């Protein structure tokens, strides 16, 4: 497939603008062909109008057709074959196995949402039947379910060119809810984005979806995303990326004449607490797991454990020494883009200037290119220094963790209390540790979206019980998850129909329950007809 | 009970400030005793700190104790007896029967939420059991449920001194979710607020609830509410009131260092469409129902049908003539506060200056006091004028409706398309009308939270299937309802526990399912143990 570098405005292509940019190979340092043209405000406007038209079409066609579309997108992505993987490797330096796995995950997500809407209970149908004889007033027939919000803007992430990008989790969940999607492709992997975007359009054609169910715009500058989020036709935003980027979109959306929800997953430092008995029992293995988790994907996971909290003592010293050895021996991490490397270096420099913070170890292996070569780094400090320097509680995006050594239990709890919102927190301990530190569990529960016991936060399962979110500043909406089936709820809102004849209602609310979904009928969950 | 006019900071009272105000009798025009003291920033801060402490206490105690508390609050409100109703009549001019009914509704809401959390399934528990042998990677055990967000600020409404105020729906749903509540009492009924607030504290004592589960602050100026919403301990806001008030709080909350959700229900004009066959069949009865709905509660319902849309023709003329007669004969509406009357008069004056808008009828009966006496008013105009004057699509708070007469079906649909977000829309029609105007149903579904067929929007059922919300500007969060059991979801967020031993999990997620709640276990809804 020859890449054309244009916007996909529904089934049309367009490159009316003058600003161009190119993909970049983080291993060779060379710019990649072809050039991509940034979208103009007019192109964004066209895509948004098309999406608004598609929204009402889409709602009429029902869940069946959307199911087929989601599955067809998965198939079309697979049909791109090696070309997709190779372009991904060239644009991101992520290895073949990782990209192949990520492709599988992306297809899995699309199929999971297809299954969810085929089953159908996600609409949360509730029916209160009429009570015409109730005193003092009769009760009318009330039927409520979720309906799509309307066109959604999705921002592709740099660190997951497939699973959190063009046809990733945000897009799949928005389509599943019945919303057209306009993707702002991430400029770090424009070629992968175009390939996936064209696969989506092939699937849309195959399934006879309305034009505008999908559009994609390019932009290396902020203007394109801002124009998209500001557009009155857009009704919600999905974003995965930096705090600065997510917060800017959140602020912009809140200031619109009609404010809209922004689901920005902005990463966090995912504190990992290692409790005394666990260190004594298996400090060595925890050190191994920790270094593996910190350096996974070049340290570019949003669940990267960037903070490690433990008590002082000789077993902790041994664990940190082992970790230091492993950090020193860690392979070079090639980051997706030079700008990420610059930010990583700047953050390391910034925190290294803090008194009583030490660089305990740094990987010696060099990557192919200084501009993208990040060294895995172990930083150590004490609790007092941590508590006095709020910067240490914020994310350093890249392959590093700050080990905070606490004098005693109370100091460790104080560190936990000082934390802001994070995606995850992890506790390593024995069952006895867990009892002794039940207060720690309580504190952390108030700070995070996911609590992990004796594991590592990287590796986010895509399943119904997953919650990938958390209190601000990890995300802009603690109620929302961007992974798992519950992600669909972000793009739907309830509507209640009062006293409508059954035939005029959406299928899911008609008496017969032909779809056999779970409904709350007169306060009882049932799959029966009314 | 002697009213003291002070803040209720948990179990303590406080009146450290210098600004005072008094209740006002809308019938006699006299200020009521005693004086109430506005809260100082320090008092707000004390209440917020107490609430933060109570939050963690509350979570430990579990649902059982909260259930008892909610029921005890209902009992204590009833135990206030006639004093509550009399003070309510004096402060709001609402008649005895209405206030007695509203008290019953308030108690019903508290008991409904008690029942909801006793049943327990509202936490949306989801369990994905471990798959240790899965290839290429094992799946960890994942368990997710909703947990309380933390302290909630609730703003009492002027129009529902009981059901949407101190112990009203917002407060009851926040408590049910496990959140402490700080109420900003509405200055239009400070005495009723104090009575209910003290009843709440009696219930809290009786049920041994932690101090700070409830506080209440007074304020006739905006500063008190602003201080409350700005406080870092506050994690969510419930509000019912004007667009200006709700939007100001939304903006303030979005600009906080940690933005928080604001659930502001800001009213709307609730368009009512009368289709041709319905007018022909029962125009007279629709006119009666319309005038009854417009003047209910003095026209101070947020679901008041302030827009009536119909096609031109002699049957429509007859219906509007009949409505005009009924408007002329309507009883005087005594509004809760002179400021509401002033705003009503100003709005009527503003729209009356629009060319081709006519005052078709106005009630002749006078109320006891010019400062609060509102005349029910029927305004009429044509679709072109409506479309050219956006002000006509916005709420006029009070006993009035703007009848928009359209030339044909297309013009009527154009009026529908032009609407912004509303709480409700109503359609009067035959089944045949509904088919002919299926496009109208579709358009309206995108604009509102509740669609009513052959009924009137006033009278909001409190039940699981109710949705009292809607797209902006009707509310600041289209996903949320402020009435019905789903209101609890506003004050909770999901947390996922990964690989925790069953005993260390919240009761709802432990293997046994001792509470017998519905859980999604490995994608199947069940009440069984794992």
Judged by CB atoms within 8 Å, which residues 101-120 of B form the interface with A? 101
- Residues on chain A touching B450 (C-beta within 8 angstroms): 495-498
Judged by CB atoms within 8 Å, which residues 55-84 of B form the interface with A? 56, 59-60
Query: Are the beta carbons of B96 and B85 closer than 8 angstroms?
Result: yes
Report whether pLDDT(A59) > 90.
Answer: no
Report how far residue A479's alpha carbon sits from residue B491's, in angstroms, rounded to the nearest whole number: 9
- Best of A60, A122, A421, A479 to mutate (most B CBs within 10 Å, chain B): A479
Report how far residue A405's alpha carbon sits from residue A382's, in angstroms, rounded to the nearest whole number: 5
Question: Distances in Å between the alpha carbon of B522 and those of A427, B108, B137?
Answer: 25, 36, 17
Give A482→chain B minimum CA distance, Å. 12
Query: pLDDT digits over A193-238, tens only?
Result: 999 999 999 999 999 999 999 999 999 999 999 999 999 999 999 9
Question: Distances in Å between the alpha carbon of A132 and those of A127, A141, B105, B109, B462?
Answer: 15, 9, 19, 21, 16
Report whether pLDDT(B1) > 90.
Answer: no
Q: Which pLDDT score is estimated for A62?
A: 84
Closest to A499 (Cβ–Cβ): which among B149, B453, B469? B453
- What's the half-sphere exposure (Cβ side, CA atoms, 13 Å) at A94? 27
- What's the half-sphere exposure (Cβ side, CA atoms, 13 Å) at B315? 15
Report how far residue A116's alpha carbon sits from residue A486's, in angstroms, rounded to the nearest whole number: 10
Q: Which two tokens stand for residue B500?
A: 């925790």
**E strands within A169-222?**
181-184, 214-217
Report how far residue A492's alpha carbon sits from residue A174's, in angstroms, rounded to the nearest whole number: 8
Report whether pLDDT(B381) > 90.
Answer: yes
Report how far residue B35's alpha carbon sits from residue A437's, in angstroms, rounded to the nearest whole number: 50
**E strands within B149-225?**
152-155, 181-184, 214-217
Strand partners, A32: A23
Give B370→chain A minimum CA distance, Å. 33
Mean pLDDT, chain B, whole residue set? 97
Q: Which two tokens stand for residue A388?
A: 């006095």
* H or E element in which residue A14 lies: strand A12-14
- Residues on chain A touching B139 (C-beta within 8 angstroms): 461, 463
Report whether pLDDT(B115) > 90.
Answer: yes
Q: Which residue has the tokens 């705003």?
A: B343
DSSP-derived secondary structure letter, B141: P
Query: pLDDT digits over B146-175, tens only?
Result: 999 999 999 999 999 999 999 999 999 999
B97 touching A (Cβ < 8 Å): no
- Best of B296, B417, B496 to mutate (most A CBs within 10 Å, chain A): B496
Strand partners, B475: B265
Closest CA to B134 of B126, B123, B142: B142
Give A428→chain B minimum CA distance, Å. 11
Give, to the nearest 10 degrees, the angle between helix B169-177 and helix B41-79: 100
- Residues on chain B touching A450 (C-beta within 8 angstroms): 495-498
Give B228→chain A minimum CA distance, Å. 19
Q: Which pLDDT score is estimated for A367?
A: 87
SS (H, E, C) B416-476: HHHCCCEEEEEEECCHHHHHHCHHHHHHHHCCEEEEEECCCCCCCCCCCCCCCCCCCCCEC
Q: CA torsion angle for A171, A175, A181, A187 (degrees, to 10)?
A: 20
Handedness of CA B278, B284, B289, B293 (dihedral sign): positive
Give A233→chain B minimum CA distance, Å. 12
Query: Are the beta carbons of B284 and B442 closer than 8 angstroms?
Result: no
Q: Give chain A's radius of gyration (CA, Å).
A: 25
Of B207, B302, B333, B406, the active-site residue reads: B302
Are the Cβ atoms of A469 and B431 closer than 8 angstroms?
no
Report how far residue A22's alpha carbon sits from residue A15's, in angstroms, rounded to the nearest whole number: 14
* H or E element in which residue A418 lies: helix A409-418
Are the Cβ atoms of A261 and B450 closer than 8 angstroms?
no
Closest to A147 (Cβ–Cβ): which among B149, B445, B477? B445
Neighbours of B358 (CB within 10 A): 13
pLDDT band at A267 (very low <50, low <70, confident <90, very high): confident
Query: pLDDT digits over B258-303, tens only?
Result: 999 999 999 899 999 999 999 999 999 999 999 999 999 999 999 9
A232 touching B (Cβ < 8 Å): no
Q: Which pLDDT score is estimated for A443?
A: 96
Q: Which pLDDT score is estimated for A60?
A: 84
pLDDT band at B366 (very low <50, low <70, confident <90, very high): confident
Query: Are the beta carbons of B280 and B443 closer than 8 angstroms?
Result: no
Which residues are within 8 A (CB) of A124 and not within 5 positions of it... i.e. 6 or more apart?
A144, A145, A146, A494, A520
Closest CA to A361 of A341, A380, A333, A382: A380
Q: What's the pTM value of the predicted model, to 2 decimals?
A: 0.97
Report how far residue A475's alpha carbon sits from residue A268's, in angstroms, rounded to the nearest whole number: 9
Length of chain A in residues, anyone? 530
Give the pairing type, strands A333-334 and A373-374: antiparallel
Report how far residue B435's alpha carbon sits from residue B458's, in angstroms, rounded to the nearest whole number: 25
Are the Cβ atoms of A466 and B142 closer than 8 angstroms?
yes
Strand partners, B380: B358, B403
Report how far residue B111's alpha carbon sits from residue B70's, in angstroms, rounded to the nearest whole number: 7
- Give catalytic residue positions of A: 265, 302
pLDDT band at B59 (very low <50, low <70, confident <90, very high): confident
Judged by CB atoms within 8 Å, which residues 431-460 of B form the interface with A? 431, 434, 438, 441-442, 445-446, 448-455, 459
Closest to B466 (Cβ–Cβ): which among A59, A421, A496? A496
A127 touching B (Cβ < 8 Å): yes
DSSP-derived secondary structure letter, A140: P
Closest CA to B295 of B397, B379, B241, B376: B376
Averaged pLDDT, A124-153: 97
Give A255→chain B minimum CA distance, Å. 8
Report how far residue B316's alpha carbon sits from residue B327's, in angstroms, rounded to the nearest whole number: 16
Neighbours of B56 (CB within 10 A): 17
Between CA B52 and CA A63, with CA B145 as vertex, the angle to 5 degrees is 130
- Residues on chain A touching B149 (C-beta within 8 angstroms): 478
- Residues on chain A touching B434 (C-beta within 8 angstroms): 501, 504
Q: Which pLDDT score is estimated for B61?
A: 84
- Residues on chain A touching B273 (C-beta within 8 angstroms): none
Report whether pLDDT(A165) > 90.
Answer: yes
- Residues on chain B touching A477 (C-beta within 8 angstroms): 261
Averaged pLDDT, B361-374: 93
Q: Coil, strand or helix: which one is B76?
A: helix
A516 touching B (Cβ < 8 Å): no
Whether cis (ω within 30° of 0) applies to the bond prior to A34 is yes
Q: Is B302 a catalytic residue?
A: yes
Which residues are within 8 A (CB) of B434 and not within 5 positions of it... i.e. 6 or more apart?
A501, A504, B275, B427, B441, B453
pLDDT band at A106 (very low <50, low <70, confident <90, very high): very high
**E strands within B328-419?**
333-334, 358-362, 373-374, 377-382, 400-406
Query: Are the beta carbons of A69 and A207 closer than 8 angstroms?
Result: yes
Of B43, B91, B194, B265, the active-site residue reads: B265
Report how far residue B263's alpha carbon sits from residue B239's, in angstroms, rounded to the nearest whole number: 6
B121 touching A (Cβ < 8 Å): yes
Judged by CB atoms within 8 Å, which residues 136-195 of A form the interface with B? 136-137, 139-140, 142-144, 147, 149-150
Question: Distances in Å between the alpha carbon of B89 and those of B99, B191, B457?
Answer: 8, 11, 25
- Residues on chain B touching A272 (C-beta within 8 angstroms): none
Closest to B455 (Cβ–Cβ): which among A441, A499, A525? A499
Give A128→chain B minimum CA distance, Å. 6
Neighbours of B317 (CB within 10 A): 14
Give, to the nearest 10 degrees, the angle between helix A169-177 and helix A41-79: 100
B479 → chain A, closest CA residue? A493
pLDDT band at B62 (very low <50, low <70, confident <90, very high): confident
Query: Are the beta carbons of A436 and A412 closer than 8 angstroms?
Result: no
Which residues are within 8 A (CB) of A406 and not within 5 positions of it... i.e. 6 or more apart?
A309, A310, A311, A312, A382, A383, A412, A414, A415
Which residues are within 8 A (CB) of B34 and not within 5 positions of it... i.e. 6 or more apart?
B3, B4, B5, B22
A218 touching B (Cβ < 8 Å): no
Query: Are the beta carbons of A97 and A105 closer than 8 angstroms?
Result: no
Report how far residue B519's alpha carbon sits from residue B528's, in angstroms, rounded to the nearest whole number: 8
Q: Which residue has the tokens 């069940």?
A: B526
- Residues on chain A touching B438 (C-beta within 8 angstroms): 504
Which residues are within 8 A (CB) of A388 and not within 5 positions of it... i.e. 6 or more apart?
none
CB pairs under 8 A between A and B: 196
B501 touching A (Cβ < 8 Å): yes
Report whether pLDDT(A7) > 90.
Answer: yes
Closest CA to B181 of B283, B47, B336: B47
Report how far residue A9's alpha carbon sits from residue A51's, in angstroms, rounded to the nearest whole number: 9
Report how far residue A415's alpha carbon sits from residue A462's, in angstroms, rounded to the nearest whole number: 31
Report whether pLDDT(B367) > 90.
Answer: no
Give A454→chain B minimum CA distance, Å. 7
Are the Cβ atoms of A144 and B465 closer than 8 angstroms?
yes
Closest CA to B266 of B295, B286, B237: B237
Report whether pLDDT(B11) > 90.
Answer: yes
B424 → chain A, closest CA residue? A496
């Amino acid at each position: 497939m020859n890449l054309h570098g244009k916007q996909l405005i529904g089934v049309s292509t367009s490159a009316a603008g003058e600003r161009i940019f190119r993909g970049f190979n983080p291993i060779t340092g060379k710019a990649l062909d072809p050039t991509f043209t940034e979208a103009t405000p007019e192109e964004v406007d066209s895509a948004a109008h098309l999406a608004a038209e598609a929204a009402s079409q889409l709602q009429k066609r029902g869940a069946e057709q959307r199911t087929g579309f989601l599955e067809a997108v998965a198939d079309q992505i697979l049909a791109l074959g090696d070309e997709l993987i190779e372009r991904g490797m060239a644009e991101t330096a992520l290895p073949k196995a990782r990209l192949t796995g990520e492709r599988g995950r992306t297809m899995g997500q699309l199929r999971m949402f297809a299954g969810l809407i085929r089953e159908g209970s996600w609409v949360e149908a509730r029916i209160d039947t009429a009570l015409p004889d109730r005193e003092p007033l009769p009760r009318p027939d009330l039927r409520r379910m979720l309906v799509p919000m309307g066109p959604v803007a999705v921002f592709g992430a740099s660190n997951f060119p497939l699973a959190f990008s063009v046809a990733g989790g945000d897009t799949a969940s928005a389509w599943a809810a019945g919303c057209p999607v306009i993707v702002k492709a991430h400029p770090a992997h424009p070629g992968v984005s175009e390939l996936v975007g064209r696969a989506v359009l092939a699937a849309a054609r195959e399934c006879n979806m309305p034009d505008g169910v999908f559009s994609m715009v390019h932009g290396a500058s902020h203007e394109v995303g801002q124009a998209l989020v500001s557009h009155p036709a857009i009704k919600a935003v999905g974003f995965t990326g930096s705090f600065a980027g997510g917060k800017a979109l959140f602020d912009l959306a809140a200031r619109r004449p009609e404010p809209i929800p922004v689901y920005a997953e902005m990463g966090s430092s995912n504190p990992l607490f290692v409790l005394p008995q666990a260190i004594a029992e298996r400090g060595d293995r925890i050190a191994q797991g920790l270094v593996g988790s910190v350096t996974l994907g070049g340290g570019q996971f949003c669940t990267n454990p960037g903070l490690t909290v433990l008590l002082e003592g000789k077993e902790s010293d041994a664990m940190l020494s082992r970790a230091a050895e492993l950090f020193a021996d860690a392979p070079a991490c090639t980051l997706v883009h030079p700008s990420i490397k610059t930010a990583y270096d700047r953050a390391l420099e910034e925190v290294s200037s803090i008194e009583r913070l030490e660089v305990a170890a740094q990987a010696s292996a060099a990557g192919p290119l200084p501009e993208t070569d990040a060294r895995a780094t172990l930083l150590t400090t004490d609790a007092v220094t941590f508590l006095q320097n709020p910067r240490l509680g914020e994310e350093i995006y890249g392959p590093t963790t700050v080990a905070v050594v606490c004098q005693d239990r109370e100091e460790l709890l104080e560190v936990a209390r000082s934390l802001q919102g994070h995606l995850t927190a992890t506790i390593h301990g024995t069952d006895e540790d867990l009892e002794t530190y039940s207060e720690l569990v309580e504190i952390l529960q108030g700070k995070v979206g996911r609590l992990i016991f004796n594991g590592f936060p990287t590796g986010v399962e895509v399943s119904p019980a997953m919650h990938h979110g958390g209190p601000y500043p990890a995300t802009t909406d603690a109620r929302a998850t961007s992974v798992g089936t519950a992600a669909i709820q972000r793009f739907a809102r309830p509507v209640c129909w009062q006293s409508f004849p059954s035939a005029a209602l959406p299928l899911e609310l008609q008496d017969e329950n032909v779809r056999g979904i779970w409904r709350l009928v007169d306060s009882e969950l049932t799959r029966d007809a009314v």
